[in-house]
Amino acid sequence: MPRHASAPRFVGEGKIVFADREYPDPGPGQLLLSVEANAICGTDREQYYAGSECVPGHEAAGTVIATGEGTHTVAGARGAVFLMDYCGSCRSCRAGHTNQCFAKRNDMGFTADGGYGPFELVHESNFFPVPDDLSAPEATLLLDVMGTGGHALGRIARIREDVESLFCAGAGPIGLGILAMAKTRFGSDFPVYISDVSPWRLRLAGSLGGIPVDVREPDALAELPDIDAAVDSTGKTAVRESIIGLLGKRGVLACVGHGEGLSLTVSPDLIATERTVMGSEYFRYSEMEDNLALLLANREYFGRIITHQMPRGEIGEAFELFLAGETGKVVVVGDPA
């Protein structure tokens, strides 16, 4: 029987109200989750201000409470939800590039109800099981924080094998994830320069081992050495162009922040220096297994990226807090069904 529950409705102009929502039983290949945590992402800003027909939230974790025909997951299993409801059979999916699916069924939280509500209906293929002793807020770290950051670093490593320094533009949750993934993958002594305009976030980045760069200071970037690789999480043209000036020969820039463009003068910026500029979109489902092992081995460290947890009933206050710019990851939590 379909379930009815009160779920947050994003009506636009920064207003969130609660309204009745119907959640159907899972169909073939589907699971119904009781959502216990969903982390706020900067991408949610557009739905917060413009409104959304579906329930937003694309960094969800919870417990399976009902299963559909043909599934193998048991009720009571706990896990995180991969954003992209990939088809599993197209050319990209067959090659393992599930983040580049040609026939996605949905983007969870954008075209289908996501994790800010009490329930979420997902396909079993984009549900990733986690151990019972890993909390739901911790499980959300496997998504945008570890997944997106780790995927960008992996793409950089395939272009250049001798990276000895990294610059990260933006010390929001994605930037902090890039920093933490670099430190756990390449070693605590690996230098990661990380920039922002928020002193609060720069202090948090410093506590995680980053080298803070306060770009409000005019000469902050000019004082940096040549950088081997960089990741832009801001999506700003001016930031990306400043990064090009930081890269040494064979330098690599991975853009993970959606938004504005980038202008290049090909001969000096790319050909003579053999630099690479590329995009990096989310991550592959298959990457979650290694990231889970990394999380379990470094729980306290990654857990410090989550600075606030707030109940679902206070989701409006949670967004106000997050958008004020003095937080790490803010996680909206709900009681298990």
Residue 284 within a domain: no
Residue 300 within a domain: no
- Does one domain contain both 133 and 152? no
Last residue of a domain, one of 279, 294, 322: 279
Note the pTM of the prediction, 2 decimals: 0.96
- Does one domain contain both 137 and 154? no
Amino acid identity for residue 94 in this structure: R
Q: Which two tokens stand for residue 84?
A: 């992209």
Q: What is the pLDDT of residues 151-196, one digit of tens each?
A: 999 999 999 999 999 999 999 999 999 999 999 999 999 999 999 9
Residue 74 within a domain: yes
The helix, strand and coil proportions of the chain, stated in percent and rounded to the nearest 5, come to 30, 30, 40
Residue 287 within a domain: no
% pLDDT > 90, the chain: 98
| Residue range 22-37: mean pLDDT, rounded | 97
Residue 212 within a domain: yes
- pLDDT at 336 exceeding the cut of 90: no
- pLDDT at 17 exceeding the cut of 70: yes
Q: Is 176 exposed, middle or buried (0-12, 13-18, 19+ CB in 10 A)?
A: buried
- pLDDT at 110 exceeding the cut of 90: yes
Q: Which two tokens stand for residue 292?
A: 């889970």
- pLDDT at 331 exceeding the cut of 80: yes
Look at residues 8, 120, 23, 14 and name the one whose alpha carbon lies nearest to residue 64. Answer: 120
pLDDT at 275 (0 to 100): 98
- Domain containing residue 108: CATH number: 3.90.180.10
Side-chain half-sphere CA neighbours of 47 within 13 A: 24
- Does one domain contain both 160 and 262? yes
Q: What is the pLDDT of residues 58-75, one digit of tens each?
A: 999 999 999 999 999 999
% pLDDT > 70, the chain: 99
Q: Is 150 exposed, middle or buried (0-12, 13-18, 19+ CB in 10 A)?
A: buried
Q: Is 4 exposed, middle or buried (0-12, 13-18, 19+ CB in 10 A)?
A: exposed
pLDDT at 258 (0 to 100): 94
Q: Is 29 exposed, middle or buried (0-12, 13-18, 19+ CB in 10 A)?
A: middle
Backbone angles phi, psi at 138, to 5 degrees: -65, -40
Q: Are 19 and 131 in contact (CB under 8 A)?
A: no
- Does one domain contain both 37 and 103? yes
Residue 288 within a domain: no
pLDDT at 1 (0 to 100): 67
Amino acid identity for residue 257 in this structure: G
Taking each helix axis from N to C terminus, what angle separates 173-186 and 199-207, rounded to the nearest 10 degrees?
20
Last residue of a domain, one of 279, 295, 325: 279
- Does one domain contain both 137 and 182? no
Q: What is the pLDDT of residues 227-246, one digit of tens each?
A: 999 999 999 999 999 999 99
Q: Which two tokens stand for residue 13?
A: 């102009």
- Domain containing residue 225: CATH number: 3.40.50.720
List 112's β-bridge partners, or say none: 108
- pLDDT at 297 exceeding the cut of 70: yes
Q: Could you identify the residue written with the tokens 């949750």?
A: 173
Q: What is the pLDDT of residues 82-104, one digit of tens each?
A: 999 999 999 999 999 999 999 99
Residue 326 within a domain: yes
- Does one domain contain both 125 and 21? yes
Q: Chain-wide mean pLDDT for the chain?
A: 97
DSSP character string of 153-203? HHHHHHH-S----EEEE--SHHHHHHHHHHHHHH-TTS-EEEEES-HHHHH
Residue 285 within a domain: no
Q: Are 37 and 62 in contact (CB under 8 A)?
A: yes
Backbone angles phi, psi at 231, to 5 degrees: -130, 130
**CA distance linking residue 232 with residue 329, whole number of Å:** 18
- pLDDT at 335 exceeding the cut of 90: no
- Does one domain contain both 154 and 128? no
pLDDT at 85 (0 to 100): 98
- pLDDT at 211 exceeding the cut of 70: yes
Q: What is the pLDDT of residues 126-159, one digit of tens each?
A: 999 999 999 999 999 999 999 999 999 999 999 9
Band of pLDDT at residue 18, cut at 50, 70 and 90: very high
- Does one domain contain both 182 and 262? yes
- Give the domain range for residue 315: 3-141+305-333
- Does one domain contain both 203 and 180? yes
- Does one domain contain both 17 and 51? yes
Band of pLDDT at residue 337, cut at 50, 70 and 90: low
- Does one domain contain both 129 and 156? no
Domain count, the chain: 2
- Does one domain contain both 171 and 61? no
